[in-house]
Structure formats: C-alpha cells, structure tokens
Structure 1
Amino acid sequence: MSRYTGPRNRISRRLGFNVFENKKGDKALQDRPYPPGENGRKRMRETDYGLQLKEKQKVRYMYGLVEKQFRNYYKQASRQPGITGENLLVLLESRLDNIVYRAGFATTRPQARQLVNHRHFKVNGKFVDIPSFQVKVGDKIELKSTSINMISIQHSLDTGKDKVVPGWISVDENKKVITINSTPSREDVSSQIQEQLIVELYSK
C-alpha cells in the first residue's frame, strides 16, 4: 500500500477527524460534517471492526505511514513494557519528521519528511536523512546553517509563531536547535485518538 497523496480534507471528512491537523481540515469538518458523497446524511452506526479500522486509519494517515510501517510500530510497541496503545503513540511522536513538524520548522508532516530526506537537519552533530529516526531524551536536532534562509522554512517559522510547542521539546529560535527534554506522554497526542481500538484490531 502506497502513501496517500490525494485530497487531505476528503480523508478527514471520511474519518470524522482532522487527520492533518490544519485549519482547512477544521473548516471542512465544520462546513460538511459528513463523509464525502453522502450529501449531508448522518453517519451510519458502525460495527466494532469498522470503528477499530477507522481508528487505525486516523493514526496511520496522521503520521503518513503505509500499512507495513504501521504494523511494525505496533509490534515494537507490544514488545515494550507498559500499555501497548500508549507505547505506539510515543514511538510515533518520537519520529524525527514529527519532531521537525511539532517544533514549527514545517507546516505539515509531509513537508517535514521531505526536509529530513534532503538532509536539512543534524542530530547531535550528524546529518540524519531518515524520517523515522527515533529521537531520545537529550538529543539535539539542528537545522543546517545553509538551510536557514530557505523560503519554505522561513514561511513555516513565520506562520507557526503562535503554534504551541509540546513541553517535551524546546526550540532555540536563534540557533534553530530543537532539544528533546523528555519522553512524550499520552497527553501530547489528540484526545480524539482511541488507541485501545487499534490494540483490539491487531489483537484479533
């Protein structure tokens, strides 16, 4: 299964959740709070399996993963001590591309993924071009000096001035350095995500 590149608001409307966390997605759900093609009909009652599948799709689209990647994250989360669903969300939040997005250096996760792929960031002084790279507490992510004046990055920083940066990371806006202060917690991810449904889906 390839990564989705189609209309984003259509996906958000189908899932009833602003998957891409953007203002246009909020507006689309507010103006047309029903799935595409249903012309205002109320959402039909879903089966347990349908709800579980929808929850998985929410998170998969949110972080831009294909099914194989997502399943591998679930397997890794299930092997860790603690609550599997929360472990899964922590692993996804700890991806390098997500950190770049959360810190405001990109307006979307796909843009953050592209910036990482093109070697615009260093982790602890070394270039990392793997979007799925797992950051750890104490890591420092630095924007390459020659990339600071890139129009796309400047636009992201300008438009994201009011963006709330999660407490587990801090951003030095002058040096363009992100520091990982702690491990992300469940509270750092949308409360609209019901990760237990994902666990139920994969536990069958």
Structure 2
Amino acid sequence: MAVNKVPVLKRCRSLGLEPSYLGYDKKSNRELKRANKKMSEYALQLREKQKAKFIYGVLEKPFHNYYERADRMKGMTGQNLMTMLESRLDNVVFRMGFARTRKEARQIVDHKFFLVNGKPVNVPSYLVKAGDVIEVREKSKGLQRMKDIVEVAGGRLVPDWLDVDVEKLQGTVKELPSREQIDVPVDEMLIVELYSK
C-alpha cells in the first residue's frame, strides 16, 4: 500500500490548510515563503484536488475513480464527489468521534474494529448508505486504545447527518450528507474544471 510520508504540518502549510480539518490540534508557526506569489488557474485547480486527496487520505487513482462515478451520477458532479468522499467508512468513523484523526480511523477500520449492519468490514473506502448502523465490535470495546480514543475524541461535535451513541459505541447514518453539511474547505468546482479539461 502506498503511504504519504510527508510530515502533516508541512503538507498543511503548503496547501494552506488548518491541521484541525485532519483532526490534529497542532499549529505550525512557520509562514509559507511563496504566500504572495500569484498562482495560475491550473495551479489553483490542482491545489484544490490535492487538498481533497490529502484531507480524505485518498491516492490519485481511487480519487479519479470517485470522480468518474460522481460524473455518471445524477446531480452536480462536484457535490456528488464530496458526498462520496464524506461517506467513506474511515471518514464516518472519524466524524462519529471513534478516531482522533482520519489516518487513525483508516487504521482501526483496517484492523477490523467495526461492524457495519452487524457484519465486520475492514475496507476503509467502503461507502456507507443512509440507514447503516456502524458499531465497535464487542472484542474491541474493552481495548485500552478504544477507551483512550473515546476519551479524547468523544466530545467532538458530530454532524447532523449522523446519530451517535457514545455509551454503546455505535452510530447510525441518518442520511447522506449534502454539500452544506460538509465543512471541508475545498472548492469542488475547481476539481471538476481540472478533470473536464
């Protein structure tokens, strides 16, 4: 599996992102050197795509596949793309407060910590649907790691489209999120423009 080894804060700085969108509470004190340099239209489009890929932890080929699927769906391609990225299992686990960061969510999904509708799922890119029930497996509930995560991330604000019961360590997807409910600083229209060239 390909892994991006660039330090998170350095990558956030280069993309002009707040680390809090990734679940990190660190802050970078350094300023970006080329902050006042004018960017071309292509550079702006590419940066938006890189932002989306970095936030959701998706590599180039799967990201392109998401775009193709979003393009075939009804409605606006950009909004469809953002909804699909947001409804990935690793992202939903992060949003529910069962992981401190999206990277950690990806790892614990990979280690079979979760059940979706009663069945174990260890695919971080699994797309959840409205009505899906996501819960921590009985075996994983007693683990110290899970207790630590809930202690730190349990108080996080849960989006409206999810319903979470922290006591039972389970949550329900009430509906798929609309673009207004996704608080990610990405201009998806620039991504659509980039791919439609």
Give the TM-score of the pair, scaled to structure 1.
0.90
**CA shift at 1:189, angstroms?**
2.1
Aligned equivalent of 2:25: 23
Identity of aligned residues (%): 44
Distance (whole Å) between structure 2 residues aligned to residue 53 and residue 170 of structure 1 = 34
**CA shift at 1:151, angstroms?**
2.5
Q: Does 1:202 align with 2:161?
A: no
Deviations 1:90-114 (Å, cap 9, x if unpaired)?
0011111111111011101111111
For the residue of structure 1 that corresponds to 2:154, the secondary structure is: coil
Give structure 1 stretches of 5+ with no counterpart. none
Distance (whole Å) between structure 2 residues aligned to residue 89 and residue 57 of structure 1 = 14
Aligned equivalent of 2:116: 123
Deviations 1:129-176 (Å, cap 9, x if unpaired)?
111111111110110111112222222211123311001011111211
For the residue of structure 2 that corresponds to 1:141, the secondary structure is: strand
Aligned equivalent of 2:30: 32
Distance (whole Å) between structure 1 residues aligned to residue 113 and residue 132 of structure 2 = 16
Give structure 2 stretches of 5+ with no counterpart. none
Q: Which amino acid counterpart does residue 153 of structure 1 have in structure 2?
A: M
Distance (whole Å) between structure 2 residues aligned to residue 144 and residue 170 of structure 1 = 18
For the residue of structure 1 that corresponds to 2:172, the secondary structure is: strand
CA contact (8 A) 2:117 2:132 kept: yes
CA contact (8 A) 2:98 2:154 kept: no
**CA shift at 1:4, angstroms?**
1.2
1:103 counterpart (91, 96, 105)? 96
Q: Which amino acid counterpart does residue 184 of structure 1 have in structure 2?
A: P
Q: Does 1:57 align with 2:59?
A: no
Structure 2 matches for 1:1-204, cutoff 5 A? 2-18=2-18, 20-24=22-26, 27-28=27-28, 31-34=29-32, 38=33, 42-190=35-183, 192-204=185-197
Count of aligned positions? 195
CA contact (8 A) 1:106 1:156 kept: yes
Distance (whole Å) between structure 2 residues aligned to residue 108 and residue 23 of structure 1 = 10
Distance (whole Å) between structure 2 residues aligned to residue 4 and residue 56 of structure 1 = 16
Distance (whole Å) between structure 2 residues aligned to residue 9 and residue 42 of structure 1 = 16
* Two-structure CA RMSD over aligned residues (Å): 1.5
Structure 1 pair 42–116 and aligned structure 2 pair: CA distance change class (3 A): closer
